[in-house]
């Protein structure tokens, strides 16, 4: 099809229209009706992936349900049909959060897996799809048995896929996500260590031009930071910082996740400053706070918090170094004053901004270098609601997905 060559949505829309017209001309007893339904379902699914119109997805589910009803149990493509219906239901669950769709998808994936025993060329993909759905169910009810099965399925998928399988990075990533989640549940360090190994493997298997390169790097950096939080090995923190610098380079100004990535990098740099008290690190933190503030214009719901972060960074410099440029001193005062104007008095951050302003208004220069600042005087890193937590979304057509690091296979 021309669409497959040029990736033109209008061509795909016309294709869907033609398949719909063809279906109208195929009576129920026509042996070509089933292939026509297959073609229509595939074209509609491609259309949904491009424009994310929920009506397309609803029609995909309806068409694939008809395909399953029309195919005989002995049909050699039966597993393929069941798998496609499972994928469509799973995607609808991710849109509408209706548990019934997820449970039906799991049932279909389990049936498909039984039809693809060890040695089947598509068993690894089926293991991955079932594991992906079970992982979503785990996120609903946090049953350890589901997560354990996800890991078992993921290990087999990694073991059975060939070294040239285009979905190998997908299987590595999904297994790493499951191991990381089990670490968060049980705090067994070997799970985190193995998760890091598989995240590193995912990175090695992906190309530098991969559109999801930033998410792959982010997953690895976040896992390294988790291990730093446990073992306090400065090498893990430094590596995480280096990786997040690459993430921010891949998400420049204008990227929808630019501010989130800069916030995360700033948080890591602040942690390192707390350990080594290197003022060059604090300079970077303040510079990044200023950059993030530009991405939080007037009216942005997180502008006040960002102003507080900048003000606290400037105060820490003053408290640590013992002097500050007049312009920066004024910046600190103005940051806290604007934050107070944006916050309600009953907001928890209001008193935080008030205290920060009082510190600046009470300063007199010059002053001598003070002792190490008290805990209350330290800059607080960005709050958790501003820091991206490890998440995952799925792939489409065997590629890494566009949303938070998960993968999935569609056609096989």
pLDDT in tens, 196-207: 999 999 999 999
Q: Which long-range contacts (CB under 8 A, 24 or more apart) does 370-377 make?
A: 370/319, 370/322, 373/316, 373/319, 373/320, 377/315, 377/316, 377/319
Angle (nearest 5°) at CA 246 between 240 and 252: 130
With bands split at pLDDT 50, 70 and 90, how would you rate the model's confidence at 362?
A: confident
Is position 336 within any domain? yes
Give me the pLDDT at residue 103, please: 98
Is position 88 within any domain? no
Q: Are 174 and 407 in contact (CB under 8 A)?
A: yes
Stronger pLDDT, 346 or 326, i.e. the higher one: 346
pLDDT in tens, 98-132: 999 999 999 999 999 999 999 999 999 999 999 99
Is position 120 within any domain? no
Is position 297 within any domain? yes
pTM score over 0.75? yes
53: which DSSP letter? -
Residue 264 tokens read as 């995360």
Domain count, the chain: 1
The residue whose two tokens read 């910082």 is 241
Give me the pLDDT at residue 373, please: 43
Rounded to the nearest integer, the mean pLDDT of the chain is: 87
> pLDDT over 70 for what percent of the chain?
85
Q: What's the rounded Cα separation, in Å, for the pair 8 and 382?
A: 42
pLDDT in tens, 13-62: 999 999 899 999 999 888 999 999 999 999 999 999 988 999 999 999 99
Stronger pLDDT, 392 or 273, i.e. the higher one: 273
Is position 135 within any domain? no
Give me the pLDDT at residue 7, please: 63
pLDDT in tens, 143-171: 999 999 999 999 999 999 998 999 999 99
pLDDT at 310 over 70: yes
Is position 307 within any domain? yes
Q: Are 209 and 235 in contact (CB under 8 A)?
A: no
pLDDT in tens, 48-74: 998 899 999 999 999 999 999 999 999
Is position 340 within any domain? yes
Stronger pLDDT, 28 or 395, i.e. the higher one: 28
Is position 365 within any domain? yes
Give me the pLDDT at residue 9, please: 81
pLDDT at 367 over 50: no
pLDDT in tens, 207-261: 999 989 999 999 999 999 999 999 999 999 999 999 999 999 999 999 999 999 9
In sequence order, the β-bridge partners of residue 407 are: 400
Q: What's the rounded Cα separation, in Å, for the pair 137 and 215?
A: 23
Give me the pLDDT at residue 381, please: 53
Stronger pLDDT, 387 or 361, i.e. the higher one: 361
Q: Which of 49-53, 177-181, 341-345 has the lowest mean pLDDT?
A: 49-53
> pLDDT over 90 for what percent of the chain?
75
Give me the pLDDT at residue 264, please: 97
Range of the domain at 380: 289-388
pLDDT at 303 over 60: yes
CB atoms within 10 A of CB 54: 11
């Amino acid at each position: 099809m021309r669409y497959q060559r040029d990736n033109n949505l209008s061509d795909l829309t016309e294709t869907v229209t033609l398949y719909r017209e063809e279906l109208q001309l195929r009576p129920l007893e026509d042996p070509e009706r089933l292939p026509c339904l297959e073609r229509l379902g595939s074209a509609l699914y491609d259309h949904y992936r491009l424009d994310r119109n929920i009506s397309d997805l609803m029609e995909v589910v309806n068409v694939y349900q008809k395909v399953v009803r029309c195919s005989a149990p002995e049909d050699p493509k039966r597993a393929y049909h069941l798998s496609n219906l499972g994928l469509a239901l799973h995607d609808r669950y991710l849109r509408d959060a209706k548990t019934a769709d997820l449970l039906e998808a799991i049932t279909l994936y389990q049936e498909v897996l039984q039809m693809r025993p060890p040695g089947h060329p598509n068993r690894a993909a089926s293991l991955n799809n079932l594991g992906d759905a079970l992982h979503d169910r785990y996120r609903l009810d946090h049953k350890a048995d589901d997560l354990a099965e996800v890991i078992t399925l993921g290990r087999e998928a990694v073991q059975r896929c060939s070294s040239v399988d285009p979905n190998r990075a997908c299987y590595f990533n999904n297994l790493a996500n499951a191991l990381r989640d089990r670490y968060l549940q049980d705090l067994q360090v070997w799970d985190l260590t193995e998760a890091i190994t598989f995240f590193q493997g995912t990175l090695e298997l992906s190309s530098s031009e991969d559109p999801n390169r930033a998410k792959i790097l982010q997953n690895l950096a976040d896992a390294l930071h988790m291990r730093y939080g446990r073992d306090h090995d400065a090498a893990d923190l430094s590596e995480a910082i280096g990786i997040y610098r690459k993430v921010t380079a891949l998400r420049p100004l204008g990227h929808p996740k630019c501010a989130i990535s800069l916030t995360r990098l700033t948080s890591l740099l602040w942690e390192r400053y707390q350990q080594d008290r290197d003022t060059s690190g604090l300079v970077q933190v303040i510079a990044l706070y200023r950059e993030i503030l530009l991405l939080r214009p007037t009216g942005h719901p997180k502008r006040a918090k960002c102003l507080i972060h900048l003000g606290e960074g400037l105060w820490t410099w003053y408290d640590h170094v013992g002097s500050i440029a007049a312009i920066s001193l004024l910046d600190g005062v103005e940051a806290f004053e604007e934050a107070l104007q944006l916050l309600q008095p009953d907001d928890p951050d209001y008193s935080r901004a008030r205290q920060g302003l009082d510190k600046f208004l009470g300063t007199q220069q010059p002053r001598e270098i003070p002792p190490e600042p008290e805990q209350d005087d330290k800059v607080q890193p960005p709050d958790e609601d501003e820091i991206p937590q490890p998440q995952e979304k799925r792939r489409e057509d065997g590629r890494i997905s566009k949303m938070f690091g998960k993968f999935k296979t569609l056609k096989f």
